[in-house]
Amino acid sequence: MEQKPLKKIDIIFGWDDKCTPIQVVEKTIKKTAENIILDMIDSGLKGRGGAGFPTGLKWKFCRNEDSDIKYVICNADEGEPGTFKDREILDKVPEKIFAGMTICGYVIGAREGYIYIRGEYNFMLKTLQQKIDLFNQQLHDLKVDFRVYLRSGSGAYVCGEESALFESMEGKRGEPRNKPPYPTVAGYNSKPTVINNVETLVYTSEICRMGPEQFKALGTSDSRGSKVFSVSGDTPIAGIYELELGMPLKDFVEEFGDGDSKAIQVGGASGHCVPRKKFNDTIIGFEGIPTGGSMMIFNSSRSMYNVLHDYLEFFTEESCGQCTPCRIGCQQLLKGIEAVKKGERPPTYLDDLKRLTATMKIAAKCGLGQSVANPFTSIVDNFREEIIY
């Protein structure tokens, strides 16, 4: 499998005084929307929130919708445990987000863009709003018919799910919707909407700044470009790092581990747990294990039962509760491993629970319930003895 060695990159947080974000907007909107979409598709950029949908296609679908009102939404509801990169982007280079949103608005024909920011980040609302006001003024001066607005969530993990986010923005309970219709057809206020992750939007403006060639020179054929990682856990150098995609997990562990890493949880609580024996043949990217950026490192002092238990407690609490597989399934998984641990259920009960996660994976209404199977099966399969004894 194609792979790249670990390489630190400086695109996201870099600053080009000769081509600031507003200047990127000014320069880009001289092109046709079609050409911008072609650049996006050419760059190979896929969504950085975790699901990895090709950004250029998303914009194209939305552009093709016939509607007077469309929206661009920046998903800044960064709630995945172990992810904290969007916070840094919002703090350090928010103008790049606004630029990406404006360009998207130009492409799809939207006049309004909203940043939906998680409730826990309310401390930055004031400074962010000041920067938005300034940027909006610049857009006004450039006679660009697009404005950026800020909306705050209330702390529900599920509101990071795009359709639950729309519900929340509309003032309703944050509950995922049935799909179809997809956001590009009927999103916020049931209007065609592009919703992109914070980091994705920054990359779109960076691709417009530097051209798609430079971006796609990085990474592998399935995973173009670089990505910002939130590194935490048993590491001496926890923090935020932009790395080229396609690296083997082995490289990552050598760089960030403490020499005693036994497992890496790739992609946060809803991601996959990779044990030491699979470090060598695991690629970080869409061809291997994709991630929204969370990399949690566990060394041998950690109980994987406790890790799984924490995740399941998290999902039990953060399920919106509307669909059966997720609401009750999460509770059963949590109670189930407790019962096995206490000896109230036989070890083979873990297999019943794995079958339940297989149902959750295909029958839950949204990505939340569907992804609980990831940590459950990867931890149970690789650390079964820790769960039982």
Partner 1 sequence: MSKYMVNLKINNTAIQVEEGTSILDAAKLLNFKIPTLCNHPDLSVAGNCRVCVVEVKGARLLAASCATPVSEGMEVNTNSEKVRIARKHIIELLLSEHNVDCTKCFKNGHCELQELASEYRFGDHIFIDLVKDRDKLRDISSPSISRDASKCIRCQRCVRTCDELQSVSALAVINKGDHQTISTFLNKPLNDVVCTNCGQCINRCPTGALYERNYMEEVWNAIYDPNKFVVVETAPATRVALGEDLGIDTGKRVTGKMVSALRKMGFNKVLDTDFTADLTIMEEGTELLTRLKRAIVDKDETVKLPLMTSCSPGWVKFQEHMYPELIDNLSSCKSPQQMFGALAKTYYADKINIKAENMVVVSIMPCTAKKFECNRSEMRDSGFKDVDYVLTTRELAMMIKQAGIEFDKLEDESYDSILGESTGAAVIFGTTGGVMEAALRTAYEIITGHEVPFTNLNIQPVRGMEGVKEASIKIKNTLPDWNFLEGVELKVAVAHGLANAKQLMEVVKSGKATYHFIEVMGCPGGCIGGGGQPIPTSAEIRKRRAEAIYAEDMGKTIRKSHENPEVVEVYKEYLTNPLGHKSHELLHTHYKVRKRY
Residues at the interface with partner 1 (CB under 8 A):
156, 158, 173, 178, 180, 315-325, 327-332, 335-336, 339, 352, 355-356, 358-359, 362-365, 370
Residue 360: CB minimum distance to partner 1, A: 8
Helix 85-92, helix 198-210: angle, nearest 10:
50
Residue 345: CB minimum distance to partner 1, A: 8
- 3-class DSSP assignment, residue 287: coil
**Does residue 28 contact residue 20 with C-beta atoms inside 8 Å?**
no
Residue 104: CB minimum distance to partner 1, A: 27
**Does residue 71 contact residue 4 with C-beta atoms inside 8 Å?**
no
Pick 105 or 183: Cβ nearer partner 1: 183
Pick 40 or 356: Cβ nearer partner 1: 356
Pick 158 or 202: Cβ nearer partner 1: 158
Diameter of the chain measured on Cα atoms: 69
Query: 280 vs 3, 23, 249, 254, CA distance in Å?
Result: 11, 43, 6, 11
Please choose, from the candidates 174, 376, 178, the residue with its C-alpha nearest in 3D space to the C-alpha of residue 270. Answer: 376
Pick 136 or 331: Cβ nearer partner 1: 331
Residue 103: CB minimum distance to partner 1, A: 31
Residue 155: CB minimum distance to partner 1, A: 10
**Amino acid (one-letter) located at 257:** G
Q: Is the peptide bond before 94 cis (omega within 30 degrees of 0)?
A: no
3-class DSSP string for 107-120:
HHCCCEEEEEECHH
Residue 348: CB minimum distance to partner 1, A: 12
Ramachandran area for residue 285 (φ above 0: left; ψ -120 to 50: alpha; else beta): left
Pick 113 or 329: Cβ nearer partner 1: 329
Distance in Å from the first CA to the final CA of the chain: 37
DSSP 170: T
Pick 13 or 182: Cβ nearer partner 1: 182
**Does residue 26 contact residue 178 with C-beta atoms inside 8 Å?**
no
Residue 63: CB minimum distance to partner 1, A: 22
Whole-angstrom distance, CA of residue 387 vs CA of residue 359: 21
Residue 341: CB minimum distance to partner 1, A: 13
Pick 205 or 357: Cβ nearer partner 1: 357
Pick 39 or 318: Cβ nearer partner 1: 318
